[in-house]
């Protein structure tokens, strides 16, 4: 089975971007399209999320200024990968947590 990588980014108040990803195992062989269809309704405006709500790392590389910066990150998509897993949860466990929000 191929793993599934979640790609996301953060834009700060000056529109500087930080990119990140997390790789989940996929023991049940979930299709990328199914993962997307589960996650999209849980995103803010079908695009944004707060990574701490789902146990994902924040991508703030620059000093965080709460007066002008925000916590919202942008979902870029899921894709199959053969990269090593970087999160102990499988994709189903991650999506279950997202559904609870």
CB atoms within 10 A of CB 23: 18
CB count within 10 Å of CB 83 equals: 12
Write out pLDDT tens, residues 82-99: 999 999 999 999 999 998
Report whether pLDDT(43) > 90. Answer: yes
Helix pair 32-39, 91-100: axis angle to 10 deg: 10
Confidence (pLDDT) at 32: 97
pLDDT at 38 over 90: yes
Q: What is the pLDDT of residue 85?
A: 98
Per-residue pLDDT tens over the stretch 9-28 = 998 877 889 999 999 999 99
Q: For the chain, which residues make up each domain, given as ranges?
A: 3-100
């Amino acid at each position: 089975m191929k793993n599934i990588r979640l790609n996301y980014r953060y834009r700060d108040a000056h529109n500087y971007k930080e990119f990140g990803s997390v790789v989940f195992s996929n023991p049940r062989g979930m299709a990328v399209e199914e993962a997307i269809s589960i996650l999209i309704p849980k995103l803010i405006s079908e695009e944004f999320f707060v990574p701490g709500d789902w146990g994902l790392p924040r991508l703030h590389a620059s000093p965080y200024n709460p007066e002008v910066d925000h916590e919202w990150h942008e979902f870029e998509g899921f894709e199959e990968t053969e990269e090593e897993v970087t999160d102990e949860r499988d994709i189903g466990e991650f999506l279950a947590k997202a559904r609870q929000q």
